[in-house]
């Protein structure tokens, strides 16, 4: 989960000011936590609140995304999602935006089987992003994380994603010059996964994700979540990123770490 948060923080300053290179400073005063990190932590809180009873996961996800999200009204919510967060009667709105994929990483990390990774991703996603493409984007990321945790090699992860989710028959270099800002799962999740597949370290995965431009914080968050499961996170990057979390967000992260340490890598 922290991998998604790091990707979000690093990519935040490039979302509307793309930088199409891998050579940049990771953390600066211009970096910040956005809705990507906040909603990822809300999903983590919802999972913890279930105590293993997944029947309540959808309800808890809506509860904590609203409860926590309302405290951060200026964190970068998209228009429709922002209305959902502050709605008295929140209902799914058929979205296939990439918000489905950027917040799903706790599902991939807590799941005990691939089937459970799929189940949990659906439950936390369908409360808002109930369009088939939204559900697919979240599921692909959750499955990729689970496989990486279980020791799958990159070719196995790629084959699994291509089998049921997305074609990954391109390179970052081949799209970098023409790739444009896009907030859909269809046009960000495959790119984020390829950034992971082309990497040789956690840091290089984040740099690759940022280097193609587009919705930089969200692409890097998705890439970072898979890269964490595969590589782990260097302690220096972890320590730098945690400084950006305020007290409330840090406590959710700390609670997640304390309660899931035996389950996740």
Q: 65-92 pLDDT, tens per residue?
A: 999 999 999 999 999 999 999 999 999 9
Residue 159 has pLDDT above 80, yes or no: yes
Sign of CA dihedral 153, 135, 138, 220: positive
Complete domains list, the chain, with CATH: 2-13+31-260 (1.10.4080.10)
Q: How many CB atoms lie within 10 A of CB 63?
A: 17
Q: 85-122 pLDDT, tens per residue?
A: 999 999 999 999 999 999 999 999 999 999 999 999 99
Tell if the pTM clears 0.95, that is, is over it: yes
Residue 219's φ and ψ, nearest 5 degrees, are -60, -45
pLDDT at 262: 54
Sign of CA dihedral 204, 37, 114, 186: negative
Q: Which two tokens stand for residue 53?
A: 């009873």
Mean pLDDT to the nearest integer, 189-202: 98
Q: Using CA atoms, how far apart are residues 214 and 108, in angstroms rounded to an integer? A: 25
pLDDT at 264: 42
Which of 10, 221, 258, 183 shows the shortest CA–CA distance to 105? Answer: 221
């Amino acid at each position: 989960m922290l991998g998604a948060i790091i990707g979000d923080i690093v990519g935040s300053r490039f979302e509307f000011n793309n930088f199409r290179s891998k050579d940049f400073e990771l953390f600066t005063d211009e970096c910040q936590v956005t809705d990507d990190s906040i909603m990822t932590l809300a999903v983590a809180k919802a999972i913890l609140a279930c105590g293993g009873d997944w029947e309540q996961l959808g309800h808890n996800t809506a509860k904590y995304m609203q409860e926590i999200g309302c405290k951060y009204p200026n964190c970068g919510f998209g228009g429709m999602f922002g209305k959902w967060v502050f709605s008295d009667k929140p209902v799914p709105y058929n979205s296939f935006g990439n918000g489905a994929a950027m917040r799903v990483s706790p599902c991939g990390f807590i799941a005990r089987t691939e089937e459970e990774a799929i189940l949990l991703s659906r439950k936390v996603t369908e409360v808002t992003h109930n369009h088939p493409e939204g559900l697919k984007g979240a599921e692909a990321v959750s499955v990729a994380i689970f496989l990486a945790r279980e020791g799958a090699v990159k070719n196995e992860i790629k084959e699994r994603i291509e089998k049921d989710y997305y074609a990954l028959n391109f390179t970052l270099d081949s799209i970098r010059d023409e790739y444009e800002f896009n907030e859909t799962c269809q046009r960000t999740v495959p790119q984020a996964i390829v950034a992971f597949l082309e990497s040789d370290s956690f840091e290089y995965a984040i740099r690759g994700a940022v280097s193609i431009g587009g919705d930089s914080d969200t692409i890097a968050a998705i890439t970072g979540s898979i890269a964490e499961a595969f590589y782990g996170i260097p302690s220096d990057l972890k320590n730098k990123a945690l400084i950006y979390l305020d007290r409330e967000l840090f406590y959710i992260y700390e609670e997640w770490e304390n309660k899931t340490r035996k389950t996740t890598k």
